[in-house]
Amino acid sequence: MSGLEGLYQQIILDHSKARHGDGPLEVMDAEHHELNPTCGDEITMRIRLDQAHAHIEQLAWQGDGCSISMASASVLVDLVRGIRVEDALELADEFRTMLRSRGVGDPDEERLGDAVAFQGVARYVMRVKCAMLSWVALEACIAKVRARDAS
């Protein structure tokens, strides 16, 4: 696989057009706007949790950016909708570790699912932020809910 096809795997190109979860979310527990100042890519992530605040019941995003950032948000929605908040945070960590690996090591395909397609991004230092944009926004949403719960 050439460098470019390794970066832009078909699954990424498909998700960048399908944009799962793209849209508003009327009833929500938190929202967060995240911006990549180097390119102007931006995303607003919104999440709704169950009553116990243990599971991510629903989430949606609106944004504008490169195919990597948009595809990453689409994959994120598929992966974390309905799962435990703890597991979503662990997944974010795992995704971040993969992106910072510079392409070394084997990510857990079982857990990361379609997100494994972003392994190629790890070799492009300038694009890691693009792939992380939606995940950072998700983490911030969860942090906001928890800060509120704690007070």
Which range of residues in 7-15, 26-34, 48-56, 134-142 is near other proteins by CB under 8 A? 7-15
102 binds other proteins (CB under 8 A): no
- Contacts of 76-82 spanning 24+ positions with Cβ under 8 A: 76/21, 76/115, 76/134, 76/135, 76/138, 77/20, 77/21, 78/20, 78/21, 78/113, 78/114, 79/112, 79/113, 79/114, 79/115, 80/56, 80/138, 81/21, 81/56, 82/55, 82/56, 82/57
The pattern of x and - marking residues 21 through 50 that bind other proteins according to CB under 8 A reads: -----------------xxxx---------
Q: How far is the CB of 122 from other proteins (least distance, A)?
A: 14
- Range 112-151, binding other proteins (CB under 8 A): 124, 127, 130
65 binds other proteins (CB under 8 A): yes
3 binds other proteins (CB under 8 A): yes
Q: Of 11, 18, 66, 136, which lies in the binding site for other proteins, with binding defined by CB under 8 A?
A: 66
Q: How far is the CB of 67 from other proteins (least distance, A)?
A: 5
75-89 burial, b at 16+ Cβ within 10 Å, e below that, comes to bbbebbbeeebeebb
Residues that bind other proteins (CB under 8 A): 2-4, 7-8, 13, 17, 38-41, 64-68, 124, 127, 130
